Structure 1
Amino acid sequence: MTDIQTRALTATEWIKNNCPSAPKTGLVLGSGLGKWIKPAWIQKSIPYSDIPGFPVSTVEGHAGALLVAEIKGTPVFIFSGRFHLYEGYRPQEVTLPIVCLALLGAGNLILTNAAGALNPLFATGGLMLLTDHINMTGHNPLTGPNVDAWGPRFPDMSQVYCPTLREQAMQAGLACGQRLEQGVYVAVAGPSLETPAETRMYRIMGADAIGMSTAPEAITAHHMGLKVLGISCLTNKNLPDCMAETSHAEILSQANASADALGSLLSALIPNLGGRHG
């Protein structure tokens, strides 16, 4: 048994013994995207540092806690803060919470992130549903010995992001008056932001938004049989011929401004989600 297997099984057992419920839906919140959660929804807040085997989030804008919550009466695990390759974590550590979620019996995973818009038609402050991704991180969380009980050695990746969940999200967007774009997300390792030449290359490759997360988590979730929905909050626009300087602080500020739109969407969507697919 590998170190990651041991850590994942230990963390899963601890969560199972210390949480009041086992929700069928998990939600990962990206940078600055947690302010819409109402304190009354939270049944329990567990710092990642309390969970044996868990990494600890080191990035500003990531709370670093597992929230056991109810959104309009629907139980949900909320990972408030995630782990990144640029923090120095291995891909298997970045995705350890996703493994735990699957082992706990969840069926749905919603991955959110703060991303830069590459598509010039997409507006800053908008939301984009992921139809696909391009993994340019140089890493894959499935590298190394495969755990056959968790998924196949060579998982098919032709439909990582569940079209059924995406359609449900579109319907939720209509219900709450929130416009949703759809497009391809490219994941890079970071932490440096992309150059104009890199931006131009990613756009030519077919990417509509860019960020430093999500793809490794989606790969692991799909490998383990979870239905995956990805949502990008477009915090800035990357136009290679007139690149404006930006910073992490500015991205966090815009993410906070977009959080209300994300919250309205998720509040309308999550109560309608089902469990694990067959």
Structure 2
Amino acid sequence: MTYKDVQSCAAYIKERFDGDIPSIAMVLGSGLNSLADAVKNATVFSFLDLPGFPKPTVEGHAGRMLIGTLEGKPVICMQGRAHAYEGNSPEKLAFSTRVLWALGVEILVLTNAAGSLMKDAGPGSLMAITDHINFSGINPLVGVNDDRFGPRFPDVTNAWDKELTSTFEKCADKLGFPLHKGTYLMAMGPNFETPAEIQAFRVMGANAVGMSTVPECLTARHVGMRVCGVSSITNYAAGMTGDELTHHETMEFGAIAAVNLEKLLRAFVEQIAA
């Protein structure tokens, strides 16, 4: 998708939204639909109607953009996302994030459902993402670089904004529930990982594993957006308990984690939004 395609989609949204575009956007992962319901006075765009947008096909990903308020603060909420395992090209995975940038978004909050590699972070808990490992074999920045988006070789030493992550921690402390911190590893999927892979990921330094989020982070950093994120822990990773992993479990425990995640994101937006 070209720079012109991105600007065209952004123009489509601006023409149909009455007001200033928020500077903060959130991407919601599996099981987090209740959070979208909390957005007030929302103008809703279906991904089906947004030119060039990838169309989510996974249960729990509604495929909608909501522009409204959370705790009285302006915010864009992306209800669902596209995944590489759905057959989307790396370039396609970058599109929605680039559109957010073209709209004027400065801070991107990424959430996902993830399997825990930490025994003290069980299903239903939350983990602030402090770094990531891209084990997916894909990168949204592959191909001819358009300097209008960003440099050919972007630095991602500080991909996950430390100041914003610290705000998450302070909000969790005030709310009175634990917020784990760790490195998120992205695998391609769609199968869950094998016990041997999880053992290898643990050696590599991963604390949670999932099938999304990294392409959005890389795309956002390429265009200069600040990025932070939280994983909803939906299960222990393969081999840690001996139980079979299912998407139903992801949805079930994602809904449990969403209760605290909604509280956390409300408090976070209230702290940093203009």
Paired with 1:209 and 1:107, the residues of 2 have a C-alpha distance of: 26
Aligned to 1:76: 75
Post-superposition CA distance 1:149-178 (Å, at most 9, x none): 211110111110000100111111112122
Contact 1:127 1:233 in 2 (8 A): yes
Q: CA deviation at 1:52?
A: 1.1
Aligned to 1:29: 28
Aligned to 1:111: 110
Post-superposition CA distance 1:184-227 (Å, at most 9, x none): 00001100000010110001100000000001100010111111
Aligned to 2:95: 96
What number of residue pairs does the alignment pair up?
A: 273
Paired with 1:71 and 1:120, the residues of 2 have a C-alpha distance of: 33
Paired with 1:226 and 1:171, the residues of 2 have a C-alpha distance of: 22
Q: CA deviation at 1:239?
A: 5.4
Paired with 1:25 and 1:154, the residues of 2 have a C-alpha distance of: 25
- Name the SS for the 2:192 alignment partner: coil
Paired with 2:241 and 2:115, the residues of 1 have a C-alpha distance of: 14
Aligned to 2:200: 201
Structure 2: where are the runs of 5+ without partners? none
Contact 1:235 1:255 in 2 (8 A): yes
Contact 1:108 1:274 in 2 (8 A): no
Contact 1:47 1:64 in 2 (8 A): yes
Paired with 1:67 and 1:241, the residues of 2 have a C-alpha distance of: 38
Aligned to 1:233: 232
Paired with 1:74 and 1:93, the residues of 2 have a C-alpha distance of: 30
Q: Equivalent residues in 2 for 1:104-143 (5 A)?
A: 104-143=103-142
Asked if residue 215 in structure 1 is aligned to residue 224 in structure 2, the reply is no
Aligned to 1:9: 7
Aligned to 1:249: 248
- Name the SS for the 2:186 alignment partner: strand
Paired with 1:4 and 1:230, the residues of 2 have a C-alpha distance of: 27
Asked if residue 166 in structure 1 is aligned to residue 165 in structure 2, the reply is yes
Q: CA deviation at 1:39?
A: 5.4
Q: Equivalent residues in 2 for 1:34-49 (5 A)?
A: 34-38=33-37, 41-49=40-48
TM-score, structure 2 normalization: 0.96
One-letter amino acid of the structure 1 residue matched with residue 87 of structure 2: G
- Percent identity of paired positions between Structure 1 and Structure 2: 38
Q: CA deviation at 1:274?
A: 4.9
Paired with 2:67 and 2:209, the residues of 1 have a C-alpha distance of: 29
Aligned to 1:181: 180
Paired with 1:106 and 1:227, the residues of 2 have a C-alpha distance of: 9
Q: CA deviation at 1:45?
A: 1.2
Structure 1: where are the runs of 5+ without partners? none
TM-aligned CA distance change 1:272 to 1:245, over 3 Å: same
Q: CA deviation at 1:134?
A: 0.3
Paired with 2:122 and 2:89, the residues of 1 have a C-alpha distance of: 33
Contact 1:235 1:254 in 2 (8 A): yes
One-letter amino acid of the structure 2 residue matched with residue 107 of structure 1: E
Q: CA deviation at 1:40?
A: 6.3
Q: CA deviation at 1:241?
A: 5.4
Post-superposition CA distance 1:48-83 (Å, at most 9, x none): 111111111111000100001201111111110000
Paired with 2:41 and 2:57, the residues of 1 have a C-alpha distance of: 23
Paired with 2:17 and 2:209, the residues of 1 have a C-alpha distance of: 34
Contact 1:37 1:263 in 2 (8 A): no
